[in-house]
Copies of this chain bind each other. A is one copy, B any other.
Amino acid sequence: MRSLKFTIEYDGTNFCGWQIQPNGRSVQAEIERVLTRLTGAPTRLYGAGRTDAGVHARGQVAVARVASPIPTANFVAAMNGLLPDDVAVRAVAEVPENFNPRHDAKRKLYRYTLWHSPSRPALDRRVWRVPYPLDCAAMRGAAAALLGEHDFTSLSNQQRAGENNVRTIDRCDLIFAADYAPFDRDVTTSGGKIFMEVEGRSFLYNMVRNIAGLLVDVGRGRFAAAAVPAIIAAKARARAGQSAPAAGLCLEWVKYD
Contacts and interface: CB of A to CB of B under 8 A. Distances in A.
Interface of A: 9-11, 56, 58, 76, 80, 85-91, 118-123, 125-126, 178-179, 250
11 contacts: A9-B121, A10-B123, A56-B123, A58-B123, A85-B125, A86-B125, A88-B120, A88-B122, A91-B118, A91-B119, A123-B126
Contacts of A179: 178
A80 B123 contact: no
A62 to B, nearest CB: 14
A113 B126 CA distance: 18
Contacts of A9: 119, 121-123
A178 B122 CA distance: 22
Contacts of A120: 80, 88
A76 B122 contact: no
A73 B179 CA distance: 27
A125 to B, nearest CB: 7
Contacts of A126: 123
Which has the most chain B C-beta neighbours within 10 Å: A10, A87, A119, A122? A122
Contact of A88 (B58, B91, B121): B121
A76 B118 contact: yes
Nearest to A77: B119
A87 to B, nearest CB: 5
Contacts of A87: 122
A119 B122 CA distance: 25
Given A56-B123, A87-B122, A91-B118, 14 more contacts: A9-B119, A10-B122, A10-B123, A76-B119, A80-B120, A85-B122, A85-B125, A88-B120, A88-B121, A88-B122, A89-B119, A123-B126, A123-B250, A178-B179
A58 B126 CA distance: 15
B11 A86 contact: no
A127 to B, nearest CB: 12
Contacts of A10: 122-123
Which has the most chain B C-beta neighbours within 10 Å: A76, A89, A123, A178? A123
A122 B91 contact: no
Contact of A123 (B11, B118, B123, B178): B11
